[in-house]
Structure 1
Amino acid sequence: MPDKLEKYRSKRDASRTPEPVPGAAPEPGDGAAFVIQEHHARSLHWDLRLERDGVLVSWAVPKGLPADPSTNHLAVHTEDHPMEYLDFHGEIPKGEYGGGTMTVWDRGTYETEKWSDREVKVVLRGSRASGRFVLFQTDGKNWMIHRMDPPTRDPLPSLDPMLPVERTRLPRDADGHAFEFAWGGERVLVPIDGGRTEVARRYPWLRPLAASFGSRAAVLDGEVVTLAGAEVLVCYDLLYDDGHSLVALPYTARRAALEALGLAAARWQTAPSWPGQAKPVRQAAREQGLPGVVAKRLDSPYEPGESKSWIFVPA
């Protein structure tokens, strides 16, 4: 019987990588375990591995498992992996094959509905990944993965940004508003899906931000501003998070969800917000040379286009 791990061993040096590199050929088995690993290598992807005849048959899925049956994702068929990979996580050294950080994203068991050289149809039963999927080979060596169940999340919204109306005076009911700086930067909505964002085409420095979200889809609202000589994304709203649209929720709920993300790095940050603090925030904006302040009603949903729920007041 051919050694199914021969190709796997040929790509790895056991003295240089913490990955399991068994010396013996695998023993046939009849288990039905699976694991999905989030792999921050040269490019972020997810590794789907299905136990089959004593090894883990593997595919690298750049955008993760599809959440909607209307969209298929690329799945690159890679070499079989040893069973010890069901629990493997850690740092593969830079310069080694697959170098980067690997974590276990999900594990569980699966049922086989069909298995052939060109098509694999399974039902995954994990804590994060569940449902019916089919992997199928296209022309050449490429494979795709298709979700056969209904969508598991709301579609990513396509929105215009919410815009403030301009007034000369601060709102009288200060306690009903949160006050934020008006940054005077370039407004940008940042959709993130599969660890990637199309906005990175214009701002390549946002790629690490998108990768940090892993498989968590989101839409951020903010501005690109120049601080200390560098472009920085200042985020002040969250319109979509982890499969759910937030636009109908009040500002307070969206703000809490945004702050829970903990966005704080050299090139992106969460904008400060001060409920009820109208005059001090306006004074601070004036002292820092900012255009003014934006007063946002605490109970307002996200309303694309100009809205009286957001008021810009010059400093």
Structure 2
Amino acid sequence: MTADRLAEYRDRRDRERTPEPVPATGPLPTGGDDTFVIQEHHARRLHWDLRLERDGVLVSWAVPKGLPRTPADNRLAVHTEDHPLEYAAFAGEIPRGEYGAGRVLIWDRGRYETEKWTDREVKVVLHGSRVSGRYVLFRTRGRNWLIHRMDPPADPAEEPLPRAVAPMRAVRRSRPPDDPERHAFEFAWGGRRVLAYVEGGQVRLTDADGADVTREYPGLRGLGEQLGARPAVLDGEVTDQMGAATYVIFDLLYLDGHALFGEPYRRRRELLDGLGLVGPHWQTAPSFTGADAAVRQVARERGLPGVVAKRLDSRYEPGTDSEAWLLVPG
């Protein structure tokens, strides 16, 4: 008798409680063995599920940091139970208390070609809207596999995420700049300078001296979930001005495989604002072009140390006291 390949899947799910497809026992459907889906799964820990159609089921791996973008970055892929083919179209909320509870989104899907398929090695070519290229999965121990990108990066100019960035510092001045129209004005929060390195949904935090402070701010783990698969380096301050410790983000130094140090402040802010970063313990800092007097008045009313005038055309100069940023009293 042929083993029921979906038995483990059914045993873990209650069709009366979960919106996931739970097909009845019976013959498996037939298909072209060429469909793949990648689902972003906001479970207890964010991860991505890679599923490949094979012999009537979706053979599945949980990839904690998402598929690697370059051949230099091998990533863990944990083999999980086979899923029904209907799961390729599933997106929704798995209720609390159920296996895999949390939100499931379809991150990418498309067709694939099989180059090799054994119990220990799977080599495929993916053709999706967000992921395309040759990948190989190889078993290391038990359910643990590694996934490796065989092709060069999709973007030849892609750079690795920086491991350490010394923050750019403002220079103190007693007066605002004479050309406010060429500057953006932000509040000086008087908090702790913190840089956030986000990759594969995971967050690492360092202070102004480069010391790792990730464990001091567990509430910022959700920042990685909000960015999802988009790698980024953020600059900001942790402040108590909102009544609770809040990470106020005021600069974007790296995004989607590209360092932004050489981009003007105006462009970096545009990209930062486009990310829409806001959550229970973080927010994007407000920025006001040319409005020095109004921003300074609000800073005084709130008891803030002052404002920072940032030249709109200025680059980010790591580790420097730059005249392009001026800290002015309120």
TM-score over 0.5 for the alignment?
Answer: yes
Question: What letter is aligned with 2:74?
Answer: N
CA distance in 1, matches of 2:295, 2:43: 43
Q: Which runs of 4+ in 1 moved over 6 A?
A: none
Is 1:76–2:86 an aligned residue pair? no
> Deviations for 1:131-164, whole angstroms, at most 9, x for unmatched residues?
1111001133311111111134321123211111
Partner of 2:201: 195
Give the secondary-structure state (helix, strand or coil) at the position aligned to 2:245: strand
Question: What letter is aligned with 1:81?
Answer: H
Partner of 1:176: 182
Q: Conserved in 1, the CA contact under 8 Å of 2:71 and 2:152? A: yes
Deviation at 1:309, TM superposition (A): 0.6
> Deviations for 1:4-46, whole angstroms, at most 9, x for unmatched residues?
1111111111111111111123144443110000000111110
Deviates more, 1:142-151 or 1:42-51: 142-151
**Residue of 130, 140, 143 corresponding to 1:141:** 143
Q: Conserved in 1, the CA contact under 8 Å of 2:189 and 2:241? A: no
Question: What letter is aligned with 1:291?
Answer: P
Q: Conserved in 2, the CA contact under 8 Å of 1:32 and 1:111? A: yes
Is 1:255–2:256 an aligned residue pair? no
Is 1:115–2:117 an aligned residue pair? yes
> Deviations for 1:48-77, whole angstroms, at most 9, x for unmatched residues?
000111111000001000112112111000
CA distance in 2, matches of 1:218, 1:208: 14
Q: Conserved in 1, the CA contact under 8 Å of 2:186 and 2:286? A: yes
What TM-score comes out, normalization by structure 1 length?
0.96
Q: Conserved in 2, the CA contact under 8 Å of 1:5 and 1:25? A: no
> Deviations for 1:203-234, whole angstroms, at most 9, x for unmatched residues?
10001121111111111111000034310011
Deviation at 1:246, TM superposition (A): 1.8
CA distance in 1, matches of 2:12, 2:298: 58
Question: What letter is aligned with 1:155?
Answer: P
> Deviations for 1:227-263, whole angstroms, at most 9, x for unmatched residues?
3431001111111122322221111111111111222
Deviation at 1:299, TM superposition (A): 0.4
Partner of 2:227: 213
Partner of 1:272: 286
Structure-to-structure mapping, 1:1-315, within 5 angstroms: 1-23=2-24, 24-152=26-154, 153-157=158-162, 158-199=164-205, 200-304=214-318, 305-315=320-330
CA distance in 2, matches of 1:156, 1:300: 22
CA distance in 1, matches of 2:27, 2:167: 58
CA distance in 1, matches of 2:242, 2:268: 29
Give the secondary-structure state (helix, strand or coil) at the position aligned to 2:293: helix
5+ residue gaps, structure 2? 206-213
CA distance in 1, matches of 2:61, 2:172: 53
CA distance in 2, matches of 1:82, 1:264: 36
Q: Conserved in 2, the CA contact under 8 Å of 1:5 and 1:26? A: no
Between the aligned residues of both structures, percent identity stands at 63
CA distance in 2, matches of 1:272, 1:27: 54
Give the secondary-structure state (helix, strand or coil) at the position aligned to 1:102: strand
Give the secondary-structure state (helix, strand or coil) at the position aligned to 2:104: strand
Q: Conserved in 2, the CA contact under 8 Å of 1:183 and 1:291? A: yes
Question: What letter is aligned with 1:285?
Answer: A
5+ residue gaps, structure 1? none
Deviation at 1:270, TM superposition (A): 1.4
CA distance in 2, matches of 1:209, 1:160: 21
What TM-score comes out, normalization by structure 2 length?
0.92
